[in-house]
Chain A
């Protein structure tokens, strides 16, 4: 009897292995990017004045920038609201995905899962506004490269495929859970045969791969910006 079990196994776990490697790359690549920033010398203090004088003040400034996008709020309320909706929607949805990591659904996730529809809406609405202004505002169109549009489209496609999986074309939550747990525990499990799921996961894979080598790394970069993280020593 002809039997190629080994080949079948390779196909089954290929995506799981790719995910493990991509996660490693995501972490190592981002750390490597920050080491490039840190290796660069910082001889002169160039905080944007008025700057905080204490370390606590700097922490506060960074927190405001990271969590409220304060400077963006000064610049354009539309962009600010769209960015907040998109980023917090994304954070919420990432959190909801923890359901796949736990074998038994933890209770604290239940309210988050209940409102995940709203989070998806914020995520995609925010992205759409950002995409629309990139297309419609002459100044933003001028400064945009193909990758700037593609980043937004990639995120939108991830959001759309995810929503599709949740609302219209579900797959087995348990099996997805096994797959994801396998990614973290190196006990790779096959995915259910589901084209929508495969698409969603492949898009996320691309996102993880380009994160450290693209502008997507900006969230980490904010912390290393000398105009934000330096004190006024005068």
Chain B
């Protein structure tokens, strides 16, 4: 049952008056020297940071066409100024997408354009000084790279590309963000973001098998490094232990069990996430992606399925082929990575799984479109499949599904407020404020339809919303994996 806009309170439409410097004290810890060094980066801010930053910017302009075009084509029309959840939540003008881009663009103009070299004041060109560097670090870490602003930009400017470039330069001159860089170092050395080694992972899977057996009386396996498997399942490592993610994992393995496909997890690719997308480090993004492809080849699987993770899906859907140099070893019938929702949907349509929505009686569900899925990928080979497939699955497994206001869903979905490498405690203030538009849209359907569950298909969304919604008086809303509801409704 779609929700008409009339029933929506729509407080997110109130655009704040700008408050200069409102978020200037937000700070995420800089990567420690060992973490920087582990990722092949300088341990701390290099002495010639100014020259190095400018020369790196020059290289990135030549390596990333989007960046070069976006630097040149902005007309400061202001279309994006009221579209970012961080601006709506904080009122800090540097959180307006164009102002965030201008942190880099003003420097670009100063060093790379005629007008900026000779008439800097006229065109708003700025020297790269210490204050600018601090603004780069501060405000490029208040962007979740969700691309909502791009939807409204008449030039198609993608702020995430600018943020990624900014962070890449910062990491190169010695000041990466600790949270993301540490995760990248762990995934490189251990195989997942948590640093969970194979025995620990095997233990977790075993105890999950026991839990499922206790709950359902069924023997459902969670195989690890099964050599004869046909399908590799790669899921965010949060699924192995975090709440509410792990219930989604259980639902997922129930569906996989019902599918009859022989599948496996991999201990070397026990992580779907690729935080190098967030930091803009293409070399690292490639290493992390290759790990998945390598595991798939070593296990001899013919299919790769990605679990519920937003940016991992973007990387798998849009970049994996390029990053690993082809996926020819996959089954021609499944030539590219598939989303777990896509697989479940195929099974449902083929009548291979049966869902009984009565098993979820009493639940009123709304769906939060995750930014990277909504605006960075597709699903199921149909246009807009990333919107229709999850909703079709939910309709089949819950009695009542309602949509939030349409300017907060589908392509115009608001980020949860914790994406893009911001899901760290030291940015909690930014995260709480950034979740405001989503919370307001959710409040409206809670009021109108007594919504009880907010469903997401992204590990970051789930963690973030569980942690910050209580700050918006929405603590009673259950944040739920799509596959938890699916698994609960599954007739085995």
Residues of A whose CB lies within 8 Å of any CB of B are 33, 36-46, 48-53, 65, 69-72, 74-76, 79, 83, 133-134, 137-140, 142-148, 150, 210, 213-215, 217-218, 221-222, 224-228, 232, 234
Q: Would you call B69 and A226 a contact (CB within 8 A)?
A: yes
Report if A146-B122 is in contact (Cβ < 8 Å); known contacts: A40-B63, A139-B96: yes
Q: What 4 pairs across the A-B complex have the smallest Cβ distances?
A: A145-B124, A221-B73, A225-B156, A75-B79
Q: Which of A39, A53, A140, A150 interacts with B383 by CB under 8 Å?
A: A53
The complex places the Cα of A106 from the Cα of B387 at a distance, in Å, of 53
Report if A142-B378 is in contact (Cβ < 8 Å); known contacts: A40-B68, A215-B75: no
Q: What is the predominant secondary structure among interface residues of chain A facing chain B?
A: helix
Q: Would you call A39 and B375 a contact (CB within 8 A)?
A: no
Q: What is the predominant secondary structure among interface residues of chain B facing chain A?
A: helix
Residues of B whose CB lies within 8 Å of any CB of A are 15, 17-18, 61-70, 72-83, 93, 96, 98-99, 102, 113-115, 121-124, 147, 150-158, 161, 282, 317-319, 322, 336, 374-378, 381, 383-384, 386-387, 411-412
The complex places the Cα of A180 from the Cα of B95 at a distance, in Å, of 48
- Most chain B CB atoms below 10 A, which of A46, A70, A137: A46
Q: Would you call A147 and B123 a contact (CB within 8 A)?
A: yes
Closest B residue to A137 by beta carbon equals B78
Q: Would you call A50 and B77 a contact (CB within 8 A)?
A: no
Chain B residues near A228 (CB-CB < 8 A)? 156
Q: Would you call B80 and A44 a contact (CB within 8 A)?
A: no
The complex places the Cα of A53 from the Cα of B385 at a distance, in Å, of 13
The complex places the Cα of A140 from the Cα of B384 at a distance, in Å, of 33
Q: Which of A50, A134, A213, A221 interacts with B378 by CB under 8 Å?
A: A50
Report if A222-B161 is in contact (Cβ < 8 Å); known contacts: A139-B18, A139-B82, A234-B381: no
Chain B residues near A145 (CB-CB < 8 A)? 76, 122-124
Q: Would you call A148 and B115 a contact (CB within 8 A)?
A: no
The complex places the Cα of A143 from the Cα of B81 at a distance, in Å, of 9
Besides A44-B318, A146-B124, 11 more A-B contacts (Cβ < 8 Å) are A40-B68, A42-B66, A74-B412, A139-B82, A142-B93, A147-B124, A217-B72, A224-B65, A225-B157, A227-B157, A228-B156
Q: Would you call A40 and B377 a contact (CB within 8 A)?
A: no
Chain A residues near B77 (CB-CB < 8 A)? 72, 79, 83
The complex places the Cα of A141 from the Cα of B348 at a distance, in Å, of 53
Q: Which of A37, A39, A49 interacts with B374 by CB under 8 Å?
A: A49
Chain B residues near A217 (CB-CB < 8 A)? 72-73
Q: Would you call A44 and B377 a contact (CB within 8 A)?
A: no
Q: Would you call B122 and A33 a contact (CB within 8 A)?
A: no
The complex places the Cα of A50 from the Cα of B11 at a distance, in Å, of 27
